[in-house]
């Protein structure tokens, strides 16, 4: 049941995730434009950098390139994947809120489906994953970090899913991503508050595993984490990770359109549009 279902599930998963690729033709093997991949020849670890100025907002294009890069790193049998940012102030600012403001429904459906794809690609990535969080990681930036297996963060930054602050209600799978890292009581309170954890707080509750003083050190700590799997058989490790994460993805994989419909209905409600509008005005006034 378990292990074979897992293998089957893994097989079935790929086409779902790769569907997005048809939208953009990719030069074979070449790094895509909004992400860069550097593979360390010695360790075999691939560092995947988000590289969309100014703040790595998760636009349709950046998400496309991230999914493509994750798939590429996974299929190249790299020893591990480290997610980081080319920008030393922001890891990722989260989803492009402009896609949520008065959205054209068909486009928004593509946008949300791509975010599902991105999370699934990272959360279920067959190789060891770690995040070197060298800048702020609010909202979907935090979701990407929690989809990794390990998190190293630089000081004086913030991380958390602050969706309630802009009237958004996250999907259940985003909650599962948080709960895979933090205890139930902490998750509920943080989600309800829309809490952004300072680096030190994040370390204390376990949202990040280590704090490092530089990006270089963060990358090196992430590489040390990847090396902790050296004695594990890679396929057995991959199937075991899949078993542990199966409860997080089960509902979404069983019925992706349900999450999509629900999200469309909520995002197009006047309640949310008003809340988002006020939030965006507040951000503008602060500038």
Q: Which is nearer to its own copies, 23 or 169 (CB)?
A: 169
Q: Which is nearer to its own copies, 92 or 238 (CB)?
A: 238
Smallest distance from the beta carbon of 49 to its own copies, in angstroms? Answer: 24
Smallest distance from the beta carbon of 164 to its own copies, in angstroms? Answer: 4
User: Which stretches of the chain bind its own copies, using CB under 8 A?
Assistant: 1-6, 128, 149-150, 163-172, 175, 179-185, 187-189, 191-195, 206, 228-229, 231-233, 235-237, 239-241, 243-245, 255, 258-259, 261-263, 265-266, 271-272, 275
Q: Which is nearer to its own copies, 107 or 261 (CB)?
A: 261
Q: How many degrees, rounded to 5, is the angle at CA 39 between CA 220 and CA 140?
A: 70
Smallest distance from the beta carbon of 66 to its own copies, in angstroms? Answer: 23
Smallest distance from the beta carbon of 150 to its own copies, in angstroms? Answer: 8
The Cα–Cα gap between 194 and 87 comes to: 24
Tokens of 67: 């999914």
Q: Which is nearer to its own copies, 72 or 167 (CB)?
A: 167
Is residue 195 helix, strand or coil? coil
Smallest distance from the beta carbon of 262 to its own copies, in angstroms? Answer: 4
Q: Which is nearer to its own copies, 69 or 171 (CB)?
A: 171
Distances (CA, A) of 70 to 8, 94, 121: 20, 18, 7
The Cα–Cα gap between 97 and 186 comes to: 26
Q: Other C-beta atoms within 10 Å of 215: how many? A: 18
The Cα–Cα gap between 275 and 205 comes to: 30
Q: Which is nearer to its own copies, 88 or 265 (CB)?
A: 265
The Cα–Cα gap between 85 and 35 comes to: 9
Is residue 222 helix, strand or coil? helix
Do residues 81 and 125 touch, judged by C-beta distance below 8 A? yes
């Amino acid at each position: 049941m378990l292990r074979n279902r897992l293998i089957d599930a893994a097989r079935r998963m790929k086409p779902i995730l790769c569907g997005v690729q048809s939208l953009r033709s990719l030069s074979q093997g070449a790094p895509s434009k909004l992400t860069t991949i550097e593979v360390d020849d010695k360790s075999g670890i691939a560092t995947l950098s988000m590289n969309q100025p100014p703040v790595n907002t998760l636009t349709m294009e950046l998400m496309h390139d991230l999914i493509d890069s994750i798939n590429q790193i996974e299929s190249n049998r790299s020893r591990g994947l480290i997610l980081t940012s080319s920008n030393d102030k922001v890891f990722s600012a989260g989803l492009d809120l402009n896609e949520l403001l008065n959205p054209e429904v068909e486009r928004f459906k593509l946008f949300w489906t791509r975010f599902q794809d991105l999370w699934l690609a990272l959360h279920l990535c067959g190789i060891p994953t770690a995040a070197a969080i060298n800048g702020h990681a609010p909202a979907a930036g935090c979701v990407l970090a929690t989809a990794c297996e390990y998190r190293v963060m630089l000081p004086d930054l913030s991380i958390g899913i602050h969706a309630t602050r802009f009237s958004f209600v996250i999907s259940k799978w985003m909650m599962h991503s948080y709960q895979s890292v933090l205890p139930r009581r902490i998750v509920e309170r943080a989600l309800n508050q829309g809490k952004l954890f300072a680096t030190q707080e994040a370390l204390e509750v376990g949202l990040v595993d280590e704090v490092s003083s530089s990006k270089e050190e963060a990358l090196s700590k992430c590489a040390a984490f990847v090396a902790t799997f050296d004695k594990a058989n890679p396929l057995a490790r991959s199937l075991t990770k899949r078993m542990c994460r199966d409860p997080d993805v089960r509902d979404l994989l069983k019925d992706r359109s349900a999450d999509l419909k629900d999200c469309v209905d909520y995002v197009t409600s006047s309640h949310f549009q008003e809340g988002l509008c006020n939030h965006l005005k507040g951000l503008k006034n602060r500038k």
